[in-house]
A and B are shown apart, each in its own frame.
Chain A
Amino acid sequence: MSIHRTPLMDAEAVERAVARMAREVVERNGGVADLVLMGIHRRGTQIAARLADEIERAEGVDLPRGSIDITLYRDDLMAIGPRPVVGGTELPPDGIDDRTVVIVDDVQYTGRTVRAALNELMDWGRPARVLLCVLVDRGGRELPIQPDIVGRRVEVLDPEQSVEVRVPELDDRLGVDLVSTGPEAT
């Protein structure tokens, strides 16, 4: 087995996409009032932080941030063998009641992660509105959940292929790769 990486977005492309998404978030919300950004653990949290920085720079405000670890809400939790490590979930200091909550994830695929995140969010409170913002939408939905704001759409039909977002906080660089595993090339 070998791993092939094809770059989809370099650092500049990600930064440009994030800058545009930040403007769209503010536009959709009609300003920054009651806005809360919640990243999905782990890389969604990094993208959410970049979005929040961008909005704060443009609007000159401090945005409440949080992060969601969806592990305990996964629909396949009892079907998988080894237990996933449970990450911490952090609510913004003033909660999410009556706020516009922007759920941020790195890649949207089946829609199951977002379903889990929505259920978890509803157990914490009652947001006025929830928006979904993803850096890459790779298609392949198994649930009727669509993003409101998208950085880049790429149709990846082969389930053996994956779209990987890399962030400097956790990886070597900022970027998005299409990763395929296949038999060793000779």
Chain B
Amino acid sequence: MSETAPSLGKDLVGLESLGREELTAILDTAEPFKEISERRIKKVPVLRGKTIVNLFFEPSTRTRISFEFAEKRLSADTVNISSTGSSVTKGETLVDTARNLEAMRIDMVVMRHGASGAARFLADRIPSNVVNAGDGRHEHPTQGLLDILTIRDNLGTLEGVKVCIVGDVVHSRVARSNIYGLLTLGAEVAVCGPPTLVPGSFRELGVEVFQHVEDAIQWADVLNILRLQLERMEAGYVPSLREYNRIWGVSTERLEKAPHDLLILHPGPMNRGVEIDSDVADGEHSVILDQVTNGVAVRMAVLYLLAGGRPEKAEAAKKGGGPS
């Protein structure tokens, strides 16, 4: 019999609850899945006959498309539901929406929701596998995983690597997933940004807090630069975009003062000239497009690993045997 990967359970809600073994299994599984996207026929029959619903209560282009590519390359049937133009806007509750979908015999739900904890709430109430594609400020586990995979690919390890997350950390589910996953895998993590967006309370999670991006650049091996949500400015968290760029923007001039080259990540979509300057985004140490490529592979790995996480299937496996 072949070796087996550790079980992730039924759902992927966040990286906080995953141990080193599970996280490493996802990253390692993503490696062979990268090759599938390079084939002439970009499809393997892993999820043939499975129906996956992409349930997006918040607008998302890149995450939804990345999930959809991953699902289609695994041969699943997919249905996309977004909040506009569905009964979601007619006041149906989340559980009612999910139960109606289940009544149509689905196997997995990939959900983006504005409320923190929505993924856990749904996962506890339906038998389908639930993958969190971002819930409020809580977590965005597949984004965290693809960031971590991109760092591991480029630096060869995560042990002792110093990663600084720059920007609107307090509102960011991407930051939280990165912090949990990176710390579990042995990296050192810091956060940096205006005090309104990077409160000192983050130290309780075991991360360093920098007020000045220059200090972060001196310390870090990797910068993960978050998108500045423009509504934050309207809400008074930052004085103006120009001011934000002047103080916290990552520019070539600032990076040149670093003791060594820094790997540059950004989860996208970028505000060029605000949190990141164009020459940094397009520079030789930018791995922003690698992140996008890795996103599909990581999501394929997660879907593959979750598809086995049902106890009744394990019982059936004991009766049958593997191929030979």
Contact = CB atoms under 8 A, between A and B. Distances in A.
Nearest to B45: A73
A80 B31 contact: no
A77 B46 contact: yes
Contact of B323 (A74, A81, A85, A87): A74
B324 A82 contact: no
Interface in B310-324: 310-311, 313-317, 320-324
A82 to B, nearest CB: 4
Nearest to B305: A83
Contacts of B36: 72
A83 B313 contact: no
Nearest to A75: B323
Contacts of A74: 322-323
A123 B308 contact: no
A66 to B, nearest CB: 12
Interface string A108-147: 1110110010011001110000000000000000000000
Contacts of A85: 2-5, 28-29
A7 interface: no
B307 A113 contact: no
A71 interface: yes
A69 B31 CA distance: 13
A83 B5 contact: yes
A87 B28 CA distance: 9
Interface string B39-54: 1110111110110000
Interface of A is mostly: loop
B310 A113 contact: no
Interface string A55-79: 0000000000000011111111111
Contacts, number: 102
A79 B323 contact: no
Contact of A86 (B32, B307, B314, B324): B32
A47 interface: no
A80 B308 CA distance: 7
B29 to A, nearest CB: 6
B56 interface: no
A107 interface: yes
Contacts of A180: none
25 contacts: A72-B46, A74-B322, A75-B323, A78-B307, A79-B316, A80-B313, A80-B320, A80-B322, A81-B7, A81-B308, A81-B311, A81-B317, A82-B6, A82-B314, A83-B5, A83-B304, A85-B4, A85-B28, A86-B304, A107-B324, A109-B323, A110-B323, A112-B323, A119-B45, A124-B40
Given A73-B45, A77-B46, A109-B324, 19 more contacts: A72-B44, A75-B323, A78-B49, A78-B50, A78-B307, A80-B316, A82-B308, A83-B307, A83-B308, A85-B2, A85-B3, A86-B29, A86-B32, A87-B32, A88-B31, A107-B324, A109-B323, A112-B324, A120-B44
- Give the 3 A-B CB pairs with smallest separation, nearest first: A81-B314, A112-B323, A109-B324
